[in-house]
A and B are shown apart, each in its own frame.
Chain A
Amino acid sequence: MNARQEAAIQTPLRDVATKNMDPICWTAELIGRGTGHTVRCLKRIGLPRIVWRRPRRADSLEDVLRRAILAETARTGIALSGEEIRELIGKIVELLRNVFSGEIGVGAIPSVAELVRSGSVFSDFLVPMIRESGGLSESKREMLRRILEDNLQLRQASLEAERQ
């Protein structure tokens, strides 16, 4: 990947838009290949075409990828933490770079769905939570106590209404 391509991958689409350039043409220029090849790359990765075709102006490639991953996690119910999503984006960007530089062919790119599935370690999301619960700070414990108090009052009112 050359310096121009490296710079282009970081370019917010807003800047692409000011050049009045179609994002597909922008990517094609970035790859140095035709638009057909570019579309095949993006389709293979599984980026929803509509998301790609109508990017938000402030979006960078990473933003577009993030949205695709979020859509996939919402669709499949597979949970990824923010950090996992960031890692995954890094992985996809790396793959794109390899495709762009011609190191790997389009067929070797896993789809976003496959990446999301392979990258899913929900326990990673829970582990810090459970670890933290061992040592609840006083302020957190107080907050939880207040929640309990509120809910006990609600429950009491509810039981009284039921009795009446």
Chain B
Amino acid sequence: MTNSEFSASKKRQKTSKRTKTASAPKAPTLLVGIDLGTSRTAIASSNGHRLGVSTYVGKPKDEVSEKLFGKRLLFGDEALYNRMSLDLLRPLKDGVIQTASGTANEHVDAVQALLAHVVSLVSPLDNDVVYGVIGMPARASISNKKLLIDAVRDVFDAVMVVSEPFAVAYGLDILTDALIIDIGAGTMDLCRMHGSFPTEDDQATVSKAGDFIDQTLSDLIRQRYPRAQFTLNMIKAIKELHGYVSDKEERIEVEFTVEGRPRMFDITAELKRACLGIVSDLTKAIYRLVGSFDPEFQKRLRDNVVVCGGGSQMTGLRMLIEKALDELGGGRARIVDEPVYAGANGALKIANDMPDSFWEHLRD
């Protein structure tokens, strides 16, 4: 994917925004909350839209495919589905924009194009002033945050980044005595809430998450069934459907091909081993955050563990976390009602609560 492609769209967005703000200073405001995930980006907007897009950007490989699609860039599942005819880019890794050695970074431009696309999907009006709050990994570095803000400044009239688990807590209105765990594809983010703004010490980011499970599962299956034909995307779909960490007895069989011929493969043990691969790091992070909390309040924290994100859907995870909490004296965990949208909902709620005067500070 060339940078000129993205740069062109960047310039167009800038021009349109200048016109927009100059001609309509008192334009209505559209608020958006975004959970920019390594695997999936979710958006919730104040005009009532909510949707998710796979975090992929694809550019037609040649003129033939460009004519076929009738557009210069494809996003999300459409890009994934047509990946054979595209240069496909997954711009995020470990929850943050991938950085290349050069100054021009196609991943930065891809994130900009993707976010412009998801914002367009929530149907902003021409004269809307768009304010956005974007969730990032809890311990994302200053440079990662800056990189994201630089990338998306032209998409929004004003934009803020917040820690993803904090956004979840804010959205659920659990601002005190709670441990939020957001299990995504790139990272697992933890944040303890104690009624005030969480500091660095209150948060943890573990870079073993869904992607790690996919890779481990792929390696394990490859090891056991060297002739089976599959891709990482297929493995991801299998994990999302069957992922588990409990002691279940039923077998999990999936269909792969061997030299083009479909065969069934038993992957029960491999899947469990792969899913359990992230548990030890998760447990350590929980122990650290609970163990370093005020001892008088540790029990309250243990009794209010809230799990969200795609990874929270693994069967048996809640019970496994509670089992891990036993070592600290026991506790209770729960999975949120809307694991995929919890971050975007919370980011939208922050955007909505943010006084207008605060937004004004961030406008160009």
Contact = CB atoms under 8 A, between A and B. Distances in A.
Interface string B124-162: 000000000000000000100110011001000001111
Interface string B335-363: 00111110001001110111100100110
B340 A77 contact: no
Most buried by B among A73, A132, A139, A151: A151
B164 to A, nearest CB: 13
B304 interface: no
Interface SS majority for chain B: mixed
B242 interface: yes
Interface stretch (A27-35, A107-115, A153-161): A153-161
Given A77-B50, A123-B48, A56 B244 contact: yes
A2 to B, nearest CB: 29
Contact of B149 (A82, A125, A130, A155): A155
Nearest to B197: A146
A81 B350 CA distance: 17
A133 interface: yes
Given A136-B353, A155-B362, A57 B248 contact: yes
Contacts of A132: 353
B315 A58 contact: yes
B48 A82 contact: no
B337 A79 contact: no
Contact of B52 (A74, A136, A142): A74
Nearest to A77: B51
Interface string A38-59: 0000000000001000101110
A1 interface: no
B361 A129 contact: no
Given A50-B241, A146-B197, A129 B362 contact: no
A152 B196 contact: no
B97 to A, nearest CB: 14
Contacts of B161: 151, 154
Interface in A83-105: 85
Interface SS majority for chain A: helix
Given A144-B350, A145-B358, A122 B52 contact: no
Contacts of A82: 337-338
Contacts of B316: 56, 58
A3 interface: no
Interface of A: 17, 50, 54, 56-58, 70, 73-74, 77-79, 81-82, 85, 122-123, 125-126, 129-130, 132-133, 136, 139-148, 151-152, 154-155, 157-158, 161
28 contacts: A50-B241, A54-B241, A57-B246, A57-B315, A58-B315, A58-B316, A70-B340, A79-B49, A79-B341, A82-B337, A85-B337, A122-B50, A123-B48, A129-B353, A132-B353, A136-B353, A142-B196, A147-B350, A147-B354, A148-B358, A151-B362, A152-B361, A154-B146, A154-B161, A157-B146, A158-B146, A158-B149, A158-B150
Interface of B: 44, 46, 48-52, 142, 145-146, 149-150, 153, 159-162, 170, 175, 195-197, 241-242, 244, 246, 248-250, 252, 315-316, 319, 337-341, 345, 348-350, 352-355, 358, 361-362
Given A148-B358, A155-B362, 19 more contacts: A54-B242, A54-B250, A57-B315, A77-B51, A85-B337, A125-B345, A126-B46, A126-B352, A129-B349, A136-B353, A142-B196, A142-B197, A144-B358, A147-B354, A151-B149, A152-B361, A154-B142, A154-B146, A158-B149
